[in-house]
Amino acid sequence: MSSKLKKTVSNNKVNSTQSLKAGIMKIMQYAASVYVIALLCGLPLYMERKYLNMGDAKYHFFQYVSIAMLGFLIVFAAQLVYINTKDNVYNKQMLKTLSATDWCVLAFAVISVLSCIFAHYKRYAIFGYSGWNMGLISQLIFVLIFFFIARFYKWNDKIMHVAIAVGGFVFLIAVLQRFDIDILNLYSNRHENGEYVRLDDIYIEKFVSTLGQTSWYSSYAVLILPFGMYTYIFAKSKKQGILSALFLILGAASLCTVNSDSAYIAIFLIFLVFFWFALNKNESMLRFLEIVLLFIGTFRIIGLLQNLFPERMVHLISGEEKLTRFINHSPIVLFLFVLILIIYLFIRWRMSEEGIMGATFDISRVAFLGDVAVWAFVVAVWLVLLLMIMVTKHTLPEWLSRFYDIGFLNFDESWGNYRGFNWRMAVRAFSEAGLKDKLIGVGPDSFAWSMDAYCKEEVAEFWHGLQLACAHNEWLNMLITEGILGAVAYLGIFITAARRLGAKASENKLAIPCLAAILAYISYNFFCYQTCLCTPYIFMIIGIGEGLLRNKDI
């Protein structure tokens, strides 16, 4: 065979290989898009027996769709790996291009497997505790979601818009239910005799919309809201701006009616992120202030409706949260609305003073206010923690004695709907654990085992024989279930992603809602836990952010 013929054959093989790789990549991109649509649009709406098994129903959808789609992706990914194994240059480049977030996700996967292998109770470790289902299977699905979205998902505005529309519908159902308008008849179950019987008030208080528990609902809401804010601020048309504004109004209305204090902390951080980046451009700041006005205005309107139609309000056995009542009814919040409106009108006036947008006023001149806001938040957090310590230990000086009357500053066993007790038990279990359990944990989603092993009598007495299945603090929970190594790797995923996205946001605006969602998840789940209604979404969002950081066209 001549050298020319050999070269031609070689070139044909290369072209054939490249065509095969391109075809596989295209298939995987489509598959990743289908999976994203299923999670964002199908999961929030899927139900089986209404609130009777809402948590299990959501997990069934998540598990089956994930196994089917990710299994499909794994087959084609294996083909890509096989093709590229012959390319030593590619293999070396692949290792070099792994980011800090990639390494944290890989480390978390390895530690999760080890934790499961050496777990004390394999059923919990593999499948998860009943009702939570966050065992090794779910943890590995989260890992796969991240890598496949980061490498193969091609961003599509239309998918985001449909997801926002679904979120808006979910919000609308929640708001209507809180005014005793149950258009989907979710608060009634059909008995064998064919009659529909309304649920007891205790269940009506705890369940809302098509998502189930109010805590699950809020964890979903704080992750989808940043993308609605992004759509509004950078709207490409008037129609898009109006629809995204409606989405935000419904989101605000639902959050101030579902009785979840933890959500307000997440919302504040979301606003802080958008405020920081809005300081770079006049138009962005105006849009941001419009969102603030929409939220506060919605809170006040909901408060007014609550006063006008008290008989329509769903009875809350635990009572309305004080923070919710403050936001909906306090004159201080009304004063804040007026103040922000004045600032908004002032900026608009300065921008139009010469008839040219931005000619006489540049908001970026006061960009330092972003640093001021961040540091003010940090200082406020430390001051609150200091106050909590002093109130709990009764060491306040007399002139600050009025803070003793503020319940949330007193960290006792009933603090945060008994999170105080749960956290104390978690700390006790970790302190009494052996070296292996301290390093790699007792096994994924095996918190209940640690309670039985180290705190069984006290937990049984406090919770009247019920089992404590999680700490209601994802980061503390991870410390128990996957140890120091697992908790560090897991938290590292969020910290590295947030840090890198923050640096990228000035170049690509899509990084802003990704960053906001990550911070919202970190803060909200300080008081909550992994579920199939929030953790898959945050790994998907981090994956989208990773795609941005890899300079991939999404």
pLDDT over 80 at 79, yes or no: no
Predicted pLDDT at 20: 73
Q: How confident is the model at residue 327 (pLDDT cuts 50, 70, 90)?
A: confident
Amino acid symbol at 521: Y
SS3 string, 201-254, reads HHHHHHEECCCEEHHHHHHHHHHHHHHHHHHHHCCCCHHHHHHHHHHHHHHHHH
Q: What is the pLDDT of residues 15-45, one digit of tens each?
A: 566 777 778 888 888 989 999 999 999 999 9
Report how far residue 243's alpha carbon sits from residue 65's, in angstroms, rounded to the nearest whole number: 29
* pLDDT over 60 (residue 240): yes
Provide the pLDDT confidence category of residue 145 given band limits of 50, 70 and 90: very high
Per DSSP (E only), the strands in 75-209 are 188-190, 196-198, 207-208
Residue 313 has pLDDT above 90, yes or no: no
> Tell me, what's the pLDDT at 325?
83
pLDDT for the residue numbered 18: 73
CA distance linking residue 373 with residue 121, whole number of Å: 47
For residue 396, pLDDT over 80 is answered with yes
**Chain Cα centroid distance, residue 76:** 29
Largest interatomic CA distance in the chain = 98
Contacts of 87 (CB under 8 A, 6+ apart): none
Average pLDDT over every residue of 354-364? 64
Lowest-confidence region among 81-85, 343-347, 353-357, 423-427? 353-357
The number of C-alpha atoms within 13 Å of 106 and in the hemisphere containing its C-beta is 7
Q: How confident is the model at residue 192 (pLDDT cuts 50, 70, 90)?
A: low
Percent helix, strand, coil in the chain, to 5, is 75, 0, 25
Over range 244-271, report the average pLDDT. 93
Find, among 549, 521, 511, the residue nearest to 227 by Cα.
511
Q: Given pLDDT bands bounded at 50, 70 and 90, which one contains residue 113?
A: very high
The answer to whether the beta carbons of residues 273 and 512 sit under 8 Å apart is yes
Per-position DSSP letters for 494-546, written without gaps between them: HHHHHHHHHHHTTT-TTHHHHHHHHHHHHHHTTSS---TTTHHHHHHHHHHHH
503-522 exposure pattern, b = at least 16 Cβ within 10 A, e = fewer: ebbeeeebbbbbbbbbbbbb
- Inform me whether the pLDDT recorded for 405 exceeds 60: yes
| 410-467 confidence digits (pLDDT tens) | 898 988 889 999 999 999 999 999 999 999 999 999 999 999 999 999 999 999 988 9
- Compute the mean pLDDT over every residue in the chain, rounded to the nearest whole number: 88
Residue 317 burial (C-beta neighbours within 10 Å; 0-12, 13-18, 19+): exposed
- Residue 49's pLDDT band, with cuts at 50, 70 and 90, is confident
pLDDT at 401 (0 to 100)? 84
pTM check: above 0.85: yes
